[in-house]
Structure 1
Amino acid sequence: MNTIFIGGSREVARLPQEVQARLDEIIKKNHHVIVGDANGADKAVQKYLADREFQNVTLFCSGDTPRNNVGHWKVQSVTVNSKTKDYQFFAAKDREMARRADFGLMIWDGKSPGTLLNLVRLLQGSKIAVLINVPQKQTHNIKTADQLREFYRACTNSIRSDLERRATGLEMRFLEGLPSQPDFLEAPAAKEGKSTGALPESAIQDLNAALASGDIVRITDLLGALARNRGMSQIARDTNLARESLYRSLDAGGNPEFATVLKVLTSLGIDLEVRKTSTPDRDR
């Protein structure tokens, strides 16, 4: 018996025949199904399994109470520190399901970044995943990280951009085929999202030079790079700001508020100090 993580997009309310056939096979073999509590694909899968009185199901939810539990199955609650029910709040249960699963079955609307991130989480654990693209009526069997990266590169810029805003630093490194260890801009960390050391002196010097230049674009670009390398999820938790909002304001062409800049600097362990500039002509 295998444990199969079934998830998908909220925009998928009806299961195509391909998905139904795979669910029938799962029921026949009495595999253990783990599924989330969201509307859309999660709820549709729940209804299909409940209508067939399938009991080998564990329902996962972030926090204490599931939004949907059609079959009244056993509930596995995933503790989440954040009280804000944003994307990262609900993604906590997906990460836990990906960790526990042997295989994954994802039902995609052709644009949802959350569903694709579940593929990333499964492949990070060397799990095989099947992605069913409902609008295109295509099935993708993704068995290796290289296959996943090839699929990602073929996605539209809009899909890739949405995915990057929601992914953790480790998830993006894996998806882009980068080493998981920190680079020269990233402080040593016990694990992703929890930095335990100061930024290297080179990064401080670069930031000081950018601030001295007065070039807003240069400052924003560098601050955004520092934040992304540290882990935007951790920055969001430290600053109590929405992760998606941080990506937008610290992205190229962004215009972050001064309060946001101060909060991000504090999260990075940087103090902003004011000193008098040398202006000989004005002193005369």
Structure 2
Amino acid sequence: MTMIFLGGSRDIFELPVPAIERIGAIVAAEHGVLIGDAPGADAEMQGLLAGYNYEHVGVFHGGPEPRNNLGDWAAYHVPPPDGAKGFAVHAAKDREMVRRADFGLMVWDGASPGTCLNILRLAIIGSPCVVYDTMRGTVGTVHTIPDWRAMMHDADPDVRDEVETRMTAEEHIALEA
């Protein structure tokens, strides 16, 4: 079964119509869905999938219980490293979803460093990711690190700095290769 990592920015509470249509196509094709438990885009996508009564969904979470699991799907706890705080609590589960994904679909607000990093992680392993950029009203597919760099070209310098700060050593090395 093809596995698709769905995700996006926590500040997105309305999915773009083309993303809704693409998720409908994922359901129609009966692909597996890997999704996080965050508020915002994750919860909006979960709500859409629950409305379809779709069963092929796994919800990944870093906390003891999922923050959102709107379809009462299988939940996968990916514990954070000892002492992790803030974004680092959820980074391990994001990396696990990337590891399992054949493709990605991200709804990005042009500012979320976590979403941006997930797109980069997918590019590093060669899994294409469709990106709906709600800030710029664009859609594109990131296949490679150069594609990711092109996506980041118009990002605010503060966003680029935050992404750099959150990268692992391995992600930095892959970006420079």
- With the shorter chain as reference, the TM-score category is over 0.9
Gaps of 5+ in 2: none
**Aligned 8 A contact 2:58 2:75 in 1:** yes
- Give secondary structure in 1 for the equivalent of 2:153: helix
CA distance in 1, matches of 2:92, 2:57: 19
CA distance in 2, matches of 1:85, 1:158: 21
Partner in structure 2 of residue 81 of structure 1: 81
CA distance in 1, matches of 2:79, 2:159: 29
Q: Does 1:69 align with 2:69?
A: yes
Q: Does 1:42 align with 2:51?
A: no
- Give secondary structure in 2 for the equivalent of 1:107: strand
Q: Does 1:56 align with 2:56?
A: yes
CA distance in 1, matches of 2:71, 2:110: 28
CA distance in 2, matches of 1:17, 1:132: 10
**Aligned 8 A contact 1:8 1:106 in 2:** yes
- Give secondary structure in 2 for the equivalent of 1:45: helix
Q: Does 1:107 align with 2:112?
A: no
The 4+ residue runs of structure 1 with deviation greater than 6 A are none
Q: Deviations over 1:55-97 (max 9, x none)?
A: 1100101143111110000011112232444211111110000
**Aligned 8 A contact 1:82 1:89 in 2:** no
Partner in structure 2 of residue 217 of structure 1: none
Question: Alpha-carbon deviation of 1:141?
Answer: 0.8
Partner in structure 2 of residue 256 of structure 1: none
Task: Please report the TM-score for the alignment, with normalisation by the length of structure 1.
Answer: 0.60
**Aligned 8 A contact 2:110 2:155 in 1:** no
Gaps of 5+ in 1: 180-284
Which residue identity is paired with 2:64? D
User: Number of residues paired by the alignment?
Assistant: 177
> Which structure carries more helix by proportion?
1
Partner in structure 2 of residue 166 of structure 1: 166
> Which structure carries more strand by proportion?
2
User: Radius of gyration: which is bigger?
Assistant: 1
CA distance in 2, matches of 1:85, 1:52: 35
Q: Deviations over 1:19-71 (max 9, x none)?
A: 10000100100000010000000000000000110111001011431111100
Which residue identity is paired with 2:95? R
Partner in structure 2 of residue 136 of structure 1: 136
Q: Deviations over 1:201-226 (max 9, x none)?
A: xxxxxxxxxxxxxxxxxxxxxxxxxx
- Give secondary structure in 2 for the equivalent of 1:117: helix
Instruction: Compute the RMSD of aligned alpha carbons.
Output: 1.3
Aligned counterparts, 1:11-30, within 5 A = 11-30=11-30
Task: Please report the TM-score for the alignment, with normalisation by the length of structure 2.
Answer: 0.94
CA distance in 2, matches of 1:166, 1:84: 12
Higher relative contact order (CA 8 A, sep 6+): 2
Question: Alpha-carbon deviation of 1:5?
Answer: 0.1
